[in-house]
Amino acid sequence: MTEELASMVLDDAKDKMANTLEHVKAEFGNVRTGRAAPALVESIMVDYYGAMTPLKSLASFTVPEARMLMVAPFDKGSMASIEKAISASDLGITPSNDGQVIRLAFPPLTEERRKDLVKVVRQKAEDGKVQVRNHRRTSRQELDQLEKDSSLSSDDHERVAKQLEKVTQASIEGIDELLAHKERELLDV
């Protein structure tokens, strides 16, 4: 019984930390690198017949070349709404519409903008690490409570706490790897 409780706490922490890692990865995907990527526009909300709808539900995306993204709406009647939403987004890109597809040409990033974006991704990585540490703290408190209630021996507590520390360290290393990759991507001219 006590083993089950301790492993439940550990499994819960693993799941939460894995979700945090996925969230950081998704956040990094939303940061523009000078290359066209569908992730940059998929989550833009479009006013589609009065309902706010994510762009990924209204169109397909293709990347014909490194700095060009083509958005092909499923419903040609939604073109004006999609164009308006892209223009209003924080991408800073003016869409061009030929009646069939919307083209987004991504200009090359300036050196100054690249450095600003590196700061942004470092902050996102730090936020992710803080979240991982918060999950560790919560799990440690649960383990401490189990030990206090005599549901968990001090030896088991110590063993599970070491496993929790390994999971935490692996999650933080994962975030660091994602950060290093994204920094290289941003600084690559």
Q: How many CA atoms lie within 13 A of 187 on its CB side?
A: 10
The C-alpha atoms of residue 144 and residue 114 are separated, in whole angstroms, by 45
Decide if 96 contacts 110 (C-beta within 8 A). Answer: no
pLDDT tens across 59-107, in order? Answer: 999 988 888 889 999 988 888 899 999 888 877 788 888 888 999 888 7
Domain spans, the chain: 2-30+110-187, 38-105
Residue 89 is given by DSSP the state S
pLDDT for the residue 120:
87
pLDDT for the residue 34:
67
pLDDT for the residue 1:
56
What are the tokens at 113? 């903008």
Look at domain 38-105 and name its CATH class.
alpha beta
**Which band of pLDDT confidence, cut at 50, 70 and 90, is reported for residue 180?**
very high
Mean pLDDT, all residues of the chain: 88
Q: Return all residues near 167 (Cβ < 8 A) that are at least 6 apart.
A: 10, 13, 14, 17
More confident residue, 110 or 21: 21
pLDDT for the residue 44:
87
How would CATH label the architecture of 2-30+110-187? Answer: Orthogonal Bundle (1.10)
What are the tokens at 81? 């709404």
Listed as own residue / partner, the contacts of 155-162 with beta carbons closer than 8 Å and 24 or more positions apart are: 156/2, 156/3, 156/6, 157/6, 160/6, 160/7, 160/9, 160/10
pLDDT for the residue 133:
96
Residue with tokens 């499923």: 74
What are the tokens at 104? 């987004």
Position 33 pLDDT exceeds 80: no
Q: Return all residues near 183 (Cβ < 8 A) that are at least 6 apart.
A: 118, 121, 122
Rounded average pLDDT over 136-146: 92
Question: Percentage of the chain surpassing pLDDT 70?
Answer: 97
Count CB neighbours of 107 within 10 A. 10
Q: Give the pTM.
A: 0.70
pLDDT for the residue 73:
92
3-state secondary structure of 30: coil
pLDDT for the residue 189:
59
